[in-house]
Amino acid sequence: MRPITYSRAPDTDTAIAAVSSDPTSDFLAGGTTEVDLLRQNVLTPRRLVDINDLPLTGIEATPAGGLRIGSLARMSEVAAAPVVRERFPVIAQALELGASAQLRNMASMGGNLLQRVRCSYFRDAESPCNKREPGTGCSAIEGFSRGHAVLGTSEHCIATHPSDVAVALMALDATVHTQGAEGERSYAIDDFFLLPGNTPHREHPMAHGELITAIEVPAAPVARKSLYLKVRDRESYEFALASVAVALSLVDDTVADVRVALGGVATKPWRARRAEDFLIGAVAERVNFEQAARVELIEARPTAMNAFKVELARRAIVRALETLAGNGSPA
């Protein structure tokens, strides 16, 4: 048995100082990732610093029409907040389609962004895995890869990013605010999640001991008409095989503004910029939605086991766009 020290930080500075000064320590929020992986010997911290007393739970509308979510706000609280449901329904839907009610009550927004991959080789604590133990190889590439990524992969890792709400936040150009030993920082969400490349063990640019304090979503009128569509093996309590966050604004029948991001198919929450570029100014009809989906998936690199995800992602994009355009059945 490994001994673990537990302390409850009374304020933000103490929490950051405690973790920054000790490479064997981790923050503890809801614990739904951290404790799971600790029990499985995937994470081996010697010290847990509980951050649940920190004043980081607010969910506020910003004067400019955006949203600021404290990193310790629970998934269920954010999903239920009227400002989220009115201005950014895609965020509420992505949260409600994730995990289970009990988990959503425990799990924090900061912890959600930092949850770890569901790759079984990563989680068994034994198989060669470049993410868990750099340089040991990737067991999934020649192994069981049905749930793995088809976009943003490298020869060193093909694990799918698991968060649902991160996909909605990616579509909405959110910013992740942090505080660390070096002071405060802000990351555009697209820069916050790193592609695996040669360094799959690095999933974000934060230093050890850097604390996510808030997530900010800028005003986006387009988001009032937005949707999160999640395709999975069973209807609840399951991660996405493919998911899509879409926001759409039409003038007459033409696409005036659109946001598309994908989950379940990429190594990071995937902003579908090719699809967006194709759609702006196009007539909102199925043939254009299909072409947008095709151009987005053009660089997909599936394995033999997950080739079905390419078509699944294309169909999810088309269905979500059709639903928002009023041409299709509700998702």
Ligand X SMILES: Cc1cc2nc3c(=O)[nH]c(=O)nc-3n(C[C@H](O)[C@H](O)[C@H](O)COP(=O)(O)OP(=O)(O)OC[C@H]3O[C@@H](n4cnc5c(N)ncnc54)[C@H](O)[C@@H]3O)c2cc1C
CA–CA separation, 140 and 311 (whole Å): 21
**Residue closer to ligand X, measured from CB, 28 or 292:** 28
Residue with the shortest CB distance to ligand X: 111
Question: Site residues (CB under 6 A) for ligand SF4?
Answer: 117, 119, 121-122, 129-131, 138-140, 157-159, 200
**112 binding partner (options ligand X, ligand SF4, none; Cβ < 5 to 8 Å by kind):** ligand X
**Residue closer to ligand X, measured from CB, 28 or 242:** 28
Which amino acid, one-letter code, is at 25? S
CB of 241 to ligand X, least distance (A): 11
Question: Site residues (CB under 6 A) for ligand X?
Answer: 26-34, 36, 71, 98-99, 103, 106-108, 110-112, 114-115, 162-165, 211-212, 239
CB of 291 to ligand X, least distance (A): 30
CA–CA separation, 241 and 228 (whole Å): 13
**34 binding partner (options ligand X, ligand SF4, none; Cβ < 5 to 8 Å by kind):** ligand X
**131 binding partner (options ligand X, ligand SF4, none; Cβ < 5 to 8 Å by kind):** ligand SF4
CB of 31 to ligand X, least distance (A): 5
**295 binding partner (options ligand X, ligand SF4, none; Cβ < 5 to 8 Å by kind):** none
CB of 149 to ligand SF4, least distance (A): 8
The closest alpha carbon to 90, from 251, 222, 283, 201, belongs to 222
DSSP 196: -
Asked if residues 67 and 216 have their Cβ atoms less than 8 Å apart, the reply is yes
* Strands 175-180 and 211-217, bridge-based pairing: antiparallel
DSSP 64: T
**Residue closer to ligand X, measured from CB, 47 or 225:** 47
**Residue closer to ligand SF4, measured from CB, 87 or 116:** 116
Element (H, E) at 322: helix 308-325
CB of 301 to ligand SF4, least distance (A): 13
**272 binding partner (options ligand SF4, ligand X, none; Cβ < 5 to 8 Å by kind):** none
CB of 45 to ligand X, least distance (A): 8
Backbone conformation region of residue 75, classed left if phi is above 0, alpha if psi is from -120 to 50, else beta: alpha
Of the CA atoms within 13 Å of residue 148, those in its CB half-sphere come to 27
CA–CA separation, 25 and 17 (whole Å): 11
**Residue closer to ligand X, measured from CB, 36 or 257:** 36
Place of tokens 């995800």: 309
End-to-end CA distance of the chain: 47
What single string gives the DSSP state of each residue in 125-185? SSS-BTTTSTTS-BTTTTS--TTS-SBS-BTTB-PPP--SHHHHHHHTT-EEEEEETTEEE
CB of 245 to ligand X, least distance (A): 12
**115 binding partner (options ligand SF4, ligand X, none; Cβ < 5 to 8 Å by kind):** ligand X
**Residue closer to ligand SF4, measured from CB, 226 or 306:** 306
**Residue closer to ligand SF4, measured from CB, 124 or 173:** 124
Asked if residues 158 and 267 have their Cβ atoms less than 8 Å apart, the reply is yes
**157 binding partner (options ligand X, ligand SF4, none; Cβ < 5 to 8 Å by kind):** ligand SF4
Beta bridge partners of 217: 67
CA–CA separation, 158 and 104 (whole Å): 27
Asked if residues 28 and 49 have their Cβ atoms less than 8 Å apart, the reply is yes
**Residue closer to ligand X, measured from CB, 50 or 285:** 50
CB of 71 to ligand SF4, least distance (A): 25
